[in-house]
Amino acid sequence: GGIITQTPKFLIGQEGQKLTLKCQQNFNHDTMYWYRQDSGKGLRLIYYSITENDLQKGDLSEGYDASREKKSSFSLTVTSAQKNEMAVFLCASRNWGRAETLYFGSGTRLTVL
Amino acid sequence: GDSVTQKQGQVTLSEDDFLFINCTYSTTTYPTLLWYVQYPGQGPQLLLKVTTANNKGISRGFEATYDKGTTSFHLQKASVQESDSAVYFCAFCFNNAGAKLTFGGGTRLTVRP
């Protein structure tokens, strides 16, 4: 088995601040994802990376940057935190041939004061 | 565009009640349909999947049937337990290398003992 580790678990930022969230997986999966979870809005895709050195924008990429440093790690940057923003950011990965099975981390909860 | 709709944001039941969570999807062809479950403090995990080949998925007492005519994929369980309390997401994907999962808004199930 494997695990996805997201750090930090809780992140508190100030309006306008640049914030970075990190994700590590030891599944040896090729594809990794960042989703944003807001209450009642489900999971919305921010960025994904099919293989190392690849980056693809999702539906919610504006206001974010991403970086796939190596196969096992995928970072997300909030370029300018919005006041009163509160959401959970979920990282996931999957095998090349198993499109339906995403393995998720437990999330980073962001609060912007 | 592609979308998944879950009309029920919250469902509250008592133990041994019947569960029905509504899900409809909109896309141009026939995807693989999925239900994910998210327990408190965890990331979502795959509960069951259904393809056009098999039409029905069953897992842990939950069941969902692929209905191409009404583009629906409802989740059912005959008798819920308190441990089933979680958020349930309907989703779909296509089996290709760049596959993205499209998620619905989620339904929070609370089961009272």
Question: Using CA atoms, how far apart are residues B25 and B76, in angstroms rounded to an integer?
Answer: 17
Establish if A105 touches chain B: CB-CB under 8 angstroms: yes
Q: With contacts defined as CB-CB under 8 Å, which chain B residues touch A105?
A: 43
Contact assessment for residue B107 and residue B6, using Cβ atoms and an 8 Å cutoff? yes
What are the φ and ψ backbone dihedral angles of B108, each rounded to 5 degrees? -90, 115
Who among B41, B98, B106 is closest to A50 (CB)?
B98
pLDDT digits (tens, 9 = 90+) for A24-77: 999 999 999 999 999 777 899 999 998 888 999 998 999 999 999 899 999 999
Is residue B109 scored above 90 in pLDDT? yes
Token output for B49: 């999947």
- Of B28, B16, B26, B4, whose CA–CA distance to B102 is shortest? B4
Q: With contacts defined as CB-CB under 8 Å, which chain A residues touch B41?
A: 106
What are the φ and ψ backbone dihedral angles of B30, each rounded to 5 degrees? -100, 110
Who among A48, A101, A107 is closest to B100 (CB)?
A48
In three-state secondary structure terms, B84 is helix
Distance from CA of B24 to the nearest CA of A (A): 14
DSSP lists the bridge partners of residue B62 as: B59, B77
**Residues contacting A93, CB < 8 A, separation 6+:** A4, A25, A27, A29, A31, A32, A33, A74, A102, A103
Distance from CA of A78 to the nearest CA of B (A): 20
Give the count of beta carbons closer than 10 Å to the beta carbon of residue A16. 11
Q: With contacts defined as CB-CB under 8 Å, which chain A residues touch B43?
A: 4, 90, 92, 103-107
Question: Using CA atoms, how far apart are residues A40 and A61, in angstroms rounded to an integer?
Answer: 19
Exposed/middle/buried for residue B24 (C-beta within 10 Å: 0-12, 13-18, 19+):
middle
Average pLDDT value for chain A = 93
Which pLDDT band, with edges at 50, 70 and 90, does B95 fall under? low
Which pLDDT band, with edges at 50, 70 and 90, does B96 fall under? low
In this structure, the strands spanning B102-103 and B107-112 are unpaired
Q: With contacts defined as CB-CB under 8 Å, which chain A residues touch B46?
A: 100-102
Question: Using CA atoms, how far apart are residues A57 and A66, in angstroms rounded to an integer?
Answer: 9
Token output for B54: 């098999």
